[in-house]
Amino acid sequence: MQGKPWAGQRFIGPGDMEGIGHPATRARDTLRETKMNFDLTDEQRQIRDTFARFCDERIAPQAAALDEARAFPRALFQELADLGFFGMRYPEDVGGSGLALTEFALALAEIARGSMSLAGAVAMQSLMGTKFLHMLGNADILERLFKPALRGEKIGAICMTEPNAGSDLDSIATTAKKVDGGYVISGQKTWITSAPLADFFTVFAKAGEEKKLTIFLVERSFKGLIVGREIHKMGVWALPTSEVAFDECFVPDSHRLSQAEGDGEGHLRKTLAEIRIITGAMGLGVAQAALDEAVRYAAERKQFGKPINRYQAIQFKLAEMATDLEAAKHLVYYAAWLRDAGRPHHKEAAMAKLNATEAAARICDQAARVLASYGYAMEYPVQRYLRDVRFTLIGGGTSEILKLIIAKEVSS
């Protein structure tokens, strides 16, 4: 019992159960006691603490200026590459560190606590911007593009969304027509993160007789690739997002990442849970920042002769925000743990994303109320959290789409 949190307490320790109940029940309880463990491993704690320090010392002090500059956070992006962040989810033989999703989510949440723009940029680089190159690319693509991307030397983007195809990827209209030695891609994409700087683009286009989703790799130098208008956004100002067009862009056969025409949806499905869990983790980060700021401000701000955190109305807000966040954390890390353990996790990943991002949006809203006029002032960070958190409600599936997925899972 020594060292256990329940040691010495009455009525709640396993010792209190001795001699009670059927032996089989007792055996099950013992098993449950050893299996249920909310502790992080030493390695996970070390990773979280490393990125927490990086957030406090490197990201947070620059976050407001980066946002104001509306420029891609290149220097911090490189520092995270040097820390090995982009390779966390890839095996050692390609330059990664082979870490689990839980570790990645812990690190990403800390980055998002400092800057959602940076978190969006580095999440794109470590997951969707590079994933299909690693899964499906040939040796040349791995050497020339993928490995340098893990070192931060090249930037990757993913092109799925189109003006008339958002949640509904079946209505993608970009086509890839087979020609001698490759394909000709024609179409229009929009909302492409990091596009103004990207060196390569993973593109979803319809190919084959059945016109099904197929994945291609387009390099920046390819003729017919046009990075168009930058989209001015409500939030994540330091994360450039652009339109991208393909004007009869020739792509050699070596750059059809899909093993067969039409297998794109299957490959995408393998990554969706991961995207949802990490988007949930980004929600946790910005929510933590908003809660921290609300707690700090409520202790300092005095009205009617007392700090406002002495008023129950404010205390209730802080309590609700903290509880919302704690619950969201548990579901995000539970979903990540399920995935790492190789167990079914699609429903929990959708729930984790839905719950964490909606909770984060509520928490940022409540933080703005605690700060009142200062929550509305540009020199305080809460307005940024309030704007940035909305990004997490959209990317990785909107709340409505996630509810459809969850309803289907629970009804099947």
Ligand X SMILES: Cc1cc2nc3c(=O)[nH]c(=O)nc-3n(C[C@H](O)[C@H](O)[C@H](O)COP(=O)(O)OP(=O)(O)OC[C@H]3O[C@@H](n4cnc5c(N)ncnc54)[C@H](O)[C@@H]3O)c2cc1C
Which residues would be at the binding site for ligand X (CB under 6 A)? 158-161, 166-167, 191-193, 233, 236, 241, 391, 394-395, 398, 400-401, 404
Closest C-alpha among 34, 397, 70, 384 to residue 238 = 70
- CB of 167 or CB of 315, closer to ligand X: 167
DSSP state of 380: S
End-to-end CA distance of the chain: 43
Query: Measured from the CB atom, is 191 or 385 closer to ligand X?
Result: 191
Q: Which residue, 33 or 230, has its beta carbon nearer to ligand X?
A: 230
Number of C-alpha atoms within 13 angstroms, CB side, residue 64? 8
- Bridge partner residues of 159 (DSSP): 203
Q: Which is nearer to ligand X, 160 or 249 (CB)?
A: 160
CB of 239 to ligand X, least distance (A): 7
In terms of C-beta density within 10 A (0-12 exposed, 13-18 middle, 19 or more buried), how is residue 248 classed?
Answer: exposed
Q: Residue holding tokens 């168009």?
A: 228
User: Helix (H, G, I), strand (E, B), or coil: what is residue 177?
Assistant: strand
Q: How far is the CB of 362 from ligand X (least distance, A)?
A: 17
Give min distance, CB of 237 to ligand X, in A. 10
Q: Are 155 and 191 in contact (CB under 8 A)?
A: no
Which residue number, 338 or 360, has a Cβ lying nearer to ligand X? 360
Is the CB of 112 or the CB of 236 nearer to ligand X?
A: 236
Residue closest to ligand X (Cβ): 166
Q: Which two tokens stand for residue 292?
A: 């921290």
- Comparing CA positions, the residue from 238, 168, 156 lying closest to residue 203 is 156
Min dist CB 309 to ligand X, Å, is 34
Nearer to ligand X, 90 or 191 (CB): 191
Nearest approach in angstroms of CB 160 to ligand X is: 3
Q: What's the closest the beta carbon of residue 400 comes to ligand X, in angstroms? A: 3
Chain centroid to CA 290: 18
Cβ 145 to ligand X shortest distance, Å: 17
Question: Tokens 């993973």 appear where?
Answer: 202
Decide: 252 and 181 in contact? Cβ < 8 Å.
Answer: yes
Tokens 């606590």: give the residue: 113
Measured in residues, the chain has a length of 412
Which of 146, 191 has the CB closer to ligand X? 191
Nearest residue (CB) to ligand X, 51 versus 391: 391
The minimum distance between CB 304 and ligand X, in angstroms, equals 41
- Say if CB 319 and CB 339 are below 8 A apart: no
Kindly write down the DSSP assignment for every residue of 324-341, as one continuous string.
Answer: HHHHHHHHHHHHHHHHHT
Backbone angles phi, psi at 219, to 5 degrees: -90, 155
Alpha-carbon distance 233 to 366, whole Å?
22
In the complex, minimum distance from the CB of residue 394 to ligand X, in angstroms, rounded to a whole number: 4
CB of 156 to ligand X, least distance (A): 10
Which distant-in-sequence residues (6+ apart) come within 8 Å of 239 by Cβ?
72, 116, 117, 118, 120, 121, 193, 194
Of 99 and 213, which has the nearer Cβ to ligand X?
213
